[in-house]
């Protein structure tokens, strides 16, 4: 697997294409080359910005000579858009060798909404794996939620066991009850967060889709900036949980 962040300069890009071709041909094995190529394959992959026919020809020649396949992409037409929505291009992609196609012939690339970044993330899809049930985890970010303290103390204070039971059994029962209440609370909070995130993503995506057809107005540009800021705040909360 090779992750690419291609240079802007045309001569350096040509050198990169030649180096990659040599590496792929010498190994002649399953290869995945992905990333920001800073180049497009045709004029249809740019809107509102300059198309370099010579650069596209060199890029297409690299793909052909190295025996790579351009995986079909769905979701977005372009993978990169500037802040104002006036310049769009498909400069990110995933290229694979025939070895990959032979193993996963139905693979495709999904380009979901750009959201915070000016580039769309790319997902290479070929199969679904079920890892089983998700275990209960306690996230530090919950401690900073305004409702968590009250949920915790009210749930712990509820009399869910008999006073005559063994202390260890009582303690275990209260922990189990507390866990169930926290799960209920977290499900409710998460439901609201997911709904808010989906709403923000939909509005950003609607503006992005409009930008792929015509220029955004100053009001729409400001609106997109505010939406991205709101989404960033929610995503920071998710990052706390991931950490």
C-alpha distances out from residue 217 to 47, 133, 223, Å = 17, 47, 10
* 3-class secondary-structure state, position 146: coil
DSSP codes joined into one string, 122-136: -EEE-------PPPP
Place of tokens 């000016």: 118
pTM more than 0.95: no
pLDDT in tens, 73-96: 888 889 999 888 889 999 999 999
206-223: average pLDDT? 91
pLDDT of residue 53: 93
What count of Cα atoms within 13 Å lies in the side-chain half-sphere of residue 143?
4
C-alpha distances out from residue 27 to 1, 22, 30, 81, 96, Å = 12, 9, 9, 35, 13
pLDDT band with cut points at 50, 70 and 90 for residue 17:
very high
pLDDT at 1 over 60: yes
Domain 2-125 belongs to what architecture? 4-Layer Sandwich (3.60)
Distance between CA atoms of 118 and 83, rounded to whole angstroms? 7
pLDDT of residue 47: 92
Task: Look at 11-15, 49-53, 128-132, 134-138 and tell me which has the smallest mean pLDDT.
Answer: 128-132
Domain boundaries along the sequence of the chain: 2-125, 140-242
- The more confidently predicted of residues 235 and 59 is 59
Distance between CA atoms of 47 and 208, rounded to whole angstroms? 13
């Amino acid at each position: 697997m090779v992750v690419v962040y291609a240079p802007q300069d045309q001569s350096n890009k040509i050198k990169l294409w030649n180096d990659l071709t040599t590496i792929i041909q010498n190994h002649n094995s399953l290869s995945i080359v992905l990333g920001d190529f800073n180049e497009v394959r045709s004029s249809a992959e740019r809107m509102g910005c300059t198309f370099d026919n010579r650069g596209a020809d060199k890029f297409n020649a690299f793909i052909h000579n190295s025996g790579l396949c351009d995986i079909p992409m769905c979701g977005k037409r372009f993978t990169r858009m500037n802040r104002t929505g006036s310049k769009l291009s498909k400069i990110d992609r995933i290229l694979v060798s025939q070895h990959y196609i032979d193993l996963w012939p139905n693979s495709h690339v999904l380009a979901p909404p750009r959201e915070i970044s000016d580039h769309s993330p790319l997902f290479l899809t070929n199969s679904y794996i079920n890892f089983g049930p998700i275990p209960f985890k306690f996230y530090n970010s919950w401690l900073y939620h305004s409702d968590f303290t009250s949920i915790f103390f009210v749930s712990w204070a509820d009399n869910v066991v008999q006073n005559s039971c063994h202390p260890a059994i009582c303690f275990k029962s209260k922990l189990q009850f507390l866990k169930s209440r926290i799960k209920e609370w977290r499900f409710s909070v998460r439901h609201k967060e997911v709904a808010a995130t989906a709403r923000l993503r939909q509005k950003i995506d609607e503006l992005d889709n409009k930008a792929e057809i015509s220029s955004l107005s100053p009001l729409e540009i400001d609106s997109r900036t505010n939406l991205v800021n709101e989404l960033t705040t929610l995503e920071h909360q998710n990052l706390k949980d991931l950490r």
